[in-house]
Amino acid sequence: MTFPDMSTPKPMGVVGAGQLASMIWKDGDQFAGWRYRFNLFRMDRRGKRISQLFRPSDVIHLVKLAQVLAAVLADDGCLTAVERGSLKRLADDLDQFWNQTASTVDNDTCECGAPPPQDR
């Protein structure tokens, strides 16, 4: 039996929007402080290949992914009150933006023909 290498940190979560995804890592402790890191990549439609090259159509999903990242990090609770408040405000402002956009754009597609971003 082979045991997993415990020295390799596991992400605390994976979030995504459209074909974009991000893994979030949190390391440290309550005494030394917490440190967060995340990456960003694009998956192909089958989810078998990833890339760090993006397309113009990814920009909408990039903004949605920023909203999701902000909400997840703010909800974790180990950031300073200022960081947590800033991220929560960003997520809320982007949520309001998407709600306003959804009311002015056809619900089936965006003006560019891309599907609209999904709710959190």
- Whether this model's pTM surpasses 0.85: no
Q: What is the pLDDT of residues 93-109, one digit of tens each?
A: 999 999 988 876 555 44
Which residue matches tokens 């596991």?
10
The 8-class DSSP code of residue 27 comes to: E
pLDDT attached to residue 2: 56
pLDDT attached to residue 1: 54
Q: What is the pLDDT of residues 55-106, one digit of tens each?
A: 999 999 999 999 999 999 999 888 999 999 999 999 999 999 999 888 765 5
% the chain with pLDDT above 70: 79
**Residue 95: what are its φ and ψ, rounded to 5°?**
-60, -45
d(CA 80, CA 69): 16
Least confident span in 17-21, 71-75, 83-87, 114-118: 114-118
Q: Is the dihedral of CA 55, 60, 65, 70 positive or negative?
A: positive
By CB neighbour count within 10 A (0-12 exposed, 13-18 middle, 19+ buried), where does 56 fall? exposed
Q: Please, which residues have CB within 8 angstroms of residue 3's CB and are 6 or more apart in sequence? A: none
Q: What's the mean pLDDT in 8-31?
A: 91
